């Protein structure tokens, strides 16, 4: 069994309650941080840990925290990004639903480190039942003296507020989230200024996602140096993976990022192999926005080396032969899946979720959806493939926020690795609307026995 730092107590009966969580060692990091450490030493421990943001970008958390401005007399804020809207990603939902006090514990320690007396959880609107779970946990923590005024007699005050979003994917981008939290339309802001300088209500603000903040608890309990010993290279600690698609055991798994992609897919401890004993065709390893990888490049790098479940290995070779760990949304496709159809589904999602602020994204996502629809329904031409490539290239890097990139990368990777499948749809218009056998021979799938 792999190392478990976040999900170790997930199956303890009643762990959602303060009483059981506390009995199992909960809130020790709050006592340690507030009574034995100061904000600067906490930030230093997070830096030592090598913790990278678990929301997708993978930016070093301690470094991000160190950027926050500290003007005299100006309040600072910590915002928890719980707007988990990336297709294929659901591990933050699991933490909030079954381990709410783990998140609160991480928030209290992080708030102390950043000087935030009012901290916010901005939660995805579709997670309708989870705010009640969080509110109940907040009241329990407050009654026990871990929230509110003068926490544990240390003089530190902290209140945590839960804010429900309206169900917009764009609000997962930190500045759009801040705009929405302020009661405005969730449009991303132009940067600079960055939130660390002018964020919520133009005050210094740090935005981290649920898993990142939960990881602060084991870092403080065991120390940054010990945490950094888990994992490999710059991929330290553990990572939660939301595994779904054509696998036998979909679910949330905690890995230490030293296991291979092959082991993760085929071992009984994790995904348990491909459903129905079928062949592996491709995988989107980090949520819908990251490039899809065909089986041959998913299990081996372009150099023939084993690919591992960590930041460096999955991105090895760049977008030509690699992808990203991203938010950890691991979507597995078997030999029967049609890449064109899947790409159309993603393009439709990003077109719908674009805020429309930037012309390349507003117009380009719609164009890509229309062209993919034509190809999928047997009405495309060969020039459409090149047009798709040109459109995604002109979207990438030309928008205020990363949604444009998120829309462009799946299309680019699908054409790069499965161009012959697009061509098949164009050359066989009479079959493209009725066939769903997935063009196994084009994808060159690799079958690895479990």
Same domain membership, residue 184 and residue 35:
yes
Same domain membership, residue 437 and residue 419:
yes
Same domain membership, residue 146 and residue 49:
yes
Same domain membership, residue 421 and residue 282:
no
Residue 7 in any domain: the answer is no
Q: What is the pLDDT of residue 52?
A: 95
Range of the domain at 119: 18-229
**Nearest residue to 184 (alpha-carbon basis) of 171, 198, 169:** 171
Residue 103 in any domain: the answer is yes
SS3 of residue 123 by DSSP? strand
Same domain membership, residue 252 and residue 382:
no
| Sequential DSSP letters for 247-311 | BSS-EEEEE-S-SBHHHHHHSTTTT-SBGGGPPEEEEEBTBTTSPPEEHHHHHB-TTSPBPBSSH
Residue 389, judged by CB atoms within 10 A of its CB (0-12, 13-18, 19+), counts as middle
| pLDDT tens digits, 276-301 | 999 999 999 999 999 999 999 999 98
Same domain membership, residue 160 and residue 69:
yes
Give the C-alpha separation, 277 to 153, whole Å. Answer: 59
Same domain membership, residue 433 and residue 308:
no
| Sequential DSSP letters for 39-94 | HHHHHHHHHHHT-B-TTTT--BHHHHHHT----TT--EEEEEEE---STT--HHHH
Residue 2 in any domain: the answer is no
Residue 372 in any domain: the answer is yes
Same domain membership, residue 141 and residue 255:
no
| pLDDT tens digits, 360-398 | 999 999 999 999 999 999 999 999 999 999 999 999 999
Weakly modelled stretches of the chain, pLDDT under 50: 435-450
* 28-36 helix and 100-114 helix, angle to the nearest 10 degrees: 10
Which of 229, 248, 271 terminates a domain? The answer is 229
CATH code for the domain in which residue 375 is found? 1.20.1440.230
Residue 4 in any domain: the answer is no
Give the C-alpha separation, 278 to 295, whole Å. Answer: 13
Same domain membership, residue 284 and residue 249:
yes
Same domain membership, residue 179 and residue 155:
yes
Cα distances (angstroms) measured from residue 181 to each of 123, 146, 193, 347, 402: 10, 25, 18, 27, 19
Same domain membership, residue 165 and residue 261:
no
């Amino acid at each position: 069994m792999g190392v478990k730092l976040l999900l170790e107590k997930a199956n303890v009966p009643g762990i959602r309650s303060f009483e059981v969580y506390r009995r199992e060692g909960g809130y020790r990091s709050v006592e340690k941080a507030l009574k034995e450490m100061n904000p600067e030493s906490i930030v230093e421990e997070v830096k030592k840990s090598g913790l990278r943001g678990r929301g997708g970008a993978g930016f070093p958390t301690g470094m991000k925290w160190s950027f926050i401005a500290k003007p005299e007399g100006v309040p600072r804020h910590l915002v928890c990004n719980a707007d988990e809207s990336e297709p294929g990603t659901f591990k933050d939902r699991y933490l909030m639903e079954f381990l709410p006090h783990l998140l609160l514990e991480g928030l209290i320690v992080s708030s102390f480190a950043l000087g935030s007396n009012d901290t916010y959880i901005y939660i995805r609107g579709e997670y309708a039942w989870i705010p009640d779970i969080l509110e109940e946990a907040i009241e329990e923590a407050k009654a026990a003296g871990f929230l509110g005024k003068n926490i544990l007699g240390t003089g530190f005050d902290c209140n945590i507020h839960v804010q429900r979003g309206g169900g917009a994917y764009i609000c997962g981008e930190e500045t759009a989230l801040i705009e929405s939290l302020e009661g405005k339309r969730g449009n991303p802001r132009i940067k600079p200024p960055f939130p660390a300088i002018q964020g919520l209500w133009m005050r210094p603000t740090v935005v981290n996602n649920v898993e990142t903040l939960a990881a602060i608890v084991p870092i403080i309990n065991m120390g940054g140096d010990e945490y950094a010993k888990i994992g490999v290279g710059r991929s330290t600690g553990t990572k939660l993976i939301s595994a779904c698609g054509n696998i036998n055991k979909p679910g949330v798994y905690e890995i230490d990022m030293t296991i291979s992609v092959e082991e993760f897919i085929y071992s009984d401890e994790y995904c348990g192999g491909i459903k129905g004993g079928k062949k592996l065709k491709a995988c989107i390893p980090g949520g819908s926005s990251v490039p899809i990888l065909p089986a041959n490049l998913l299990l081996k790098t372009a150099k023939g080396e084993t690919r591992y479940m960590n930041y460096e290995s999955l991105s090895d070779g760049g977008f030509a032969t690699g992808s990203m760990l991203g938010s950890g949304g691991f979507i597995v496709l078997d030999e029967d899946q049609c890449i064109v159809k899947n790409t159309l589904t993603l393009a439709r999602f990003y077109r719908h979720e674009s805020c429309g602020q930037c012309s390349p994204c507003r117009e380009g996502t719609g164009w890509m959806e229309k062209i993919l629809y034509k190809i999928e329904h047997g009405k495309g031409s060969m020039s459409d493939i090149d047009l798709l490539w040109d459109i995604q290239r002109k979207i990438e890097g030309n928008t205020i926020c990363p949604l444009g990139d998120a829309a462009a990368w799946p299309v680019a990777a699908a054409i790069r690795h499965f161009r012959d499948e697009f061509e098949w749809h164009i050359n066989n218009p009479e079959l493209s609307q009725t066939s769903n056998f997935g063009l196994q021979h084009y994808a060159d799938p690799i079958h690895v026995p479990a």
